[in-house]
Structure 1
């Protein structure tokens, strides 16, 4: 769900939308901001920050990381202190650097190779729309489907899976090198600020780009 989707869903509840407003502050490209100080300012004003973050970007650096859920998550920020930032879903505290790394990510979603293989085995024809995609198609109107060579990534996953199966029958060790496929995402990393003070939201300066 993108920031716009989250905002539009919220507006469906008229009892809140009439007196609560929100504004999205993008963090990609990376912004020059003291995250602790910036969040502290909004929370002290009674605002509610919701971070839209790419969890995979940070956790993929961990050894043996295995992502089974969507790489994009929406997390409520309910407090800050010098040692970190408090988040919900799940409840935990993370350092400003950890949060910043997950916020400063391009609009990309990571699909695990197991899901690619499973979907292809269930329906081999599922690749047809991707193979014949064109800019007129609503599904593939984003040119990044081509520039990111998504079809080529998928083919590599399937090729390695076939090699894996062949080697297993021969009892030959083989470890696939492709763990994920990168596809364009409608999500944008950043922070949604919900507040009753419309003027404060609208007059807040945009976060400057990091040089």
Structure 2
């Protein structure tokens, strides 16, 4: 299959012929050859944008995509309050992906984000298949700290992944090349905007002169107080000898859902901009 260059919305007849729950931008082998591997620290969003533009036949250097997305980095050497703030926004949001793709493509590409939290009334694979067949390129913004397989360590971050295809009950993604069940992907796509920080990462940066009140009082986001991040840190300290709290919860800048990309001047691009939000369950 050639890369998507001409975008034509698919109709009902096409859905009946190809199967309503099956659609591919690339074959698995093509995805293996075409996918972009992580281009830098916290740069999964910029990496996804590189592949979005590639799928839409817009050639952009990875460095340029990263510059346009404006990937944020963790401030690992900062005191605890600033470190936690940097963790809450490290990487990129869906809005940065949309802006980055538009800027890197010089306005040729448009993106539209669809919220999947709170829970929506949608069959994920069926919905994705319809848009992929039309020529849209999806990117999932997922909380990878949900639906963690038994025995595996809780991942350290959220993740953006390009979706290059779907089939009944499965989703195909890049960076890394992966096949996941629809149920697991849907669960990660329907998450409140929180991030788990490992207790060891908290204790490593907790100094005697650390002002914990800053975790509640100096943040512009009221969720820091609502989550009682200061209280969670104090609990971690109190449990240092007999730890029960493995992570603390902090606000995350990210929203879980799917961003669909298309060429702005195409019929699909205009349809995408006018499409309604997915209905709440």
Whose RCO is larger (CA < 8 A, sep 6+)? 1
- For residues 89 and 34 of structure 1, the distance between their equivalents in structure 2, rounded to whole angstroms, comes to 24
User: Structure 1 residues 134, 179: closer, same or farther in 2, change over 3 A?
Assistant: closer
Give the counterpart of 1:23 among 97, 105, 112.
Answer: 112
Aligned-residue CA RMSD (Å): 1.7
User: Structure 1 residues 97, 83: closer, same or farther in 2, change over 3 A?
Assistant: closer
Q: Deviations over 1:43-100 (max 9, x none)?
A: 11111100000010211xx444423532x10011000111411011211111111111
- For residues 260 and 245 of structure 2, the distance between their equivalents in structure 1, rounded to whole angstroms, comes to 37
User: Structure 1 residues 119, 57: closer, same or farther in 2, change over 3 A?
Assistant: same
- For residues 143 and 133 of structure 1, the distance between their equivalents in structure 2, rounded to whole angstroms, comes to 10
Structure 1 residues 65-84: aligned runs within 5 Å: 65-67=152-154, 69-70=156-157, 72-84=158-170
The answer for the alignment partner of 1:40 in structure 2 is: 129
Q: Which secondary structure does the structure 1 equivalent of 2:160 belong to?
A: strand
The answer for the alignment partner of 1:181 in structure 2 is: 248
The answer for the alignment partner of 1:151 in structure 2 is: 230
Q: Which secondary structure does the structure 2 equivalent of 1:58 belong to?
A: coil
- For residues 124 and 106 of structure 2, the distance between their equivalents in structure 1, rounded to whole angstroms, comes to 27
The answer for the alignment partner of 1:87 in structure 2 is: 173
| TM-score between both structures, scaled by the size of structure 1 | 0.82
Structure 1 residues 120-199: aligned runs within 5 Å: 120=206, 123-125=207-209, 127-128=210-211, 130-132=212-214, 137=218, 140-161=219-240, 163=241, 174=242, 176-196=243-263, 197-199=268-270
Note the residue ranges of structure 1 that are not aligned, 5 or more in a row.
164-173
Instruction: Give the strand-richer structure, 1 or 2.
Output: 1
- For residues 277 and 169 of structure 2, the distance between their equivalents in structure 1, rounded to whole angstroms, comes to 26
Native 8 Å contact 1:49 1:78 kept in 2: yes
| TM-score between both structures, scaled by the size of structure 2 | 0.62
For this pair of structures, how many residues does the alignment match? Answer: 186
- For residues 155 and 205 of structure 2, the distance between their equivalents in structure 1, rounded to whole angstroms, comes to 15
Shift in Å at residue 133 of structure 1? 5.1
Q: Deviations over 1:120-172 (max 9, x none)?
A: 1xx443x41x414566x4xx1111111111011111112212x2xxxxxxxxx
Native 8 Å contact 1:51 1:191 kept in 2: yes
The answer for the alignment partner of 1:103 in structure 2 is: 189
User: Structure 1 residues 17, 23: closer, same or farther in 2, change over 3 A?
Assistant: farther
Shift in Å at residue 10 of structure 1? 2.4
The answer for the alignment partner of 1:5 in structure 2 is: 96
- For residues 110 and 75 of structure 1, the distance between their equivalents in structure 2, rounded to whole angstroms, comes to 20
Note the residue ranges of structure 2 that are not aligned, 5 or more in a row.
1-91
